[in-house]
Amino acid sequence: MLKQVTEGVLIHRSELLENNTVVVQGRDGVLLVDAGITVAETACLANDLRQLGQPVVAGFSTHPDWEHVPQHAELGEAPRYGTARCADFMRDVLSNADWKAGVAEGLPPEIAEDTPLYPYGLINGLPAETAQLPWDGPKVRIIEHPAHAPGMRPC
């Protein structure tokens, strides 16, 4: 369920990990930041957005950890962005023939069957040093950092 946190910004909280999908309202639709984890959560999010009449026009993955790169088909085909490092990391993951097995091993067992692996990690890398997200909404500043994934390349 979406919850407004300030004007033009809503969140959808994952019950499993208590992390948030951030929804930023723009002129023609919304930007999704870290679009959710399970099929059920992202389907709920897609339904909430349909009820608001807000299509997804852009997405952003803050870093290439497993819970930040899945996407549900019901959220549409809008471009999903990440930093160049994030996109490079995901390209490396997806280039392995057995990437699905590797990703599945890292999922919490209670959601392994409910985590969408397509489209998974399909990130459009922004040029290095990009300072703002390219979308038709409020300015979103990009600050590259390693997030909560020590040992992974920052995104």
The amino acid occupying position 112 is: A
Instruction: State pLDDT tens for residues 121-133.
Output: 788 999 988 889 9
Residue 51 predicted with pLDDT over 90: yes
Beta bridge pairs of residue 3? 11
Q: What are the b/e assignments for 82-118, b being 16+ CB within 10 Å?
A: bbbbbbbbbeebeeeeebeeebeeebeeebeeebbee
pTM of the model: 0.84
Residue 62 banded pLDDT, cuts 50, 70, 90: confident
- The dihedral through the CA atoms of 16, 19, 24, 28 has a sign that is negative
Give the number of domains in the chain.
1
Residue 2 banded pLDDT, cuts 50, 70, 90: very high
Domain-located, residue 155: no
Domain-located, residue 143: no
Residue 49 banded pLDDT, cuts 50, 70, 90: very high
Q: How is residue 137 annotated by DSSP?
A: S
Is 16 in contact with 38 (CB distance < 8 Å)? yes
- What is the distance between the alpha carbons of residues 9 and 7, in angstroms, rounded to a whole number? 6
* pLDDT at site 81: 92
Whichever domain contains 11, its CATH number is: 3.60.15.10
- Look up the domain containing 83 and give its range: 2-126
* pLDDT at site 154: 46
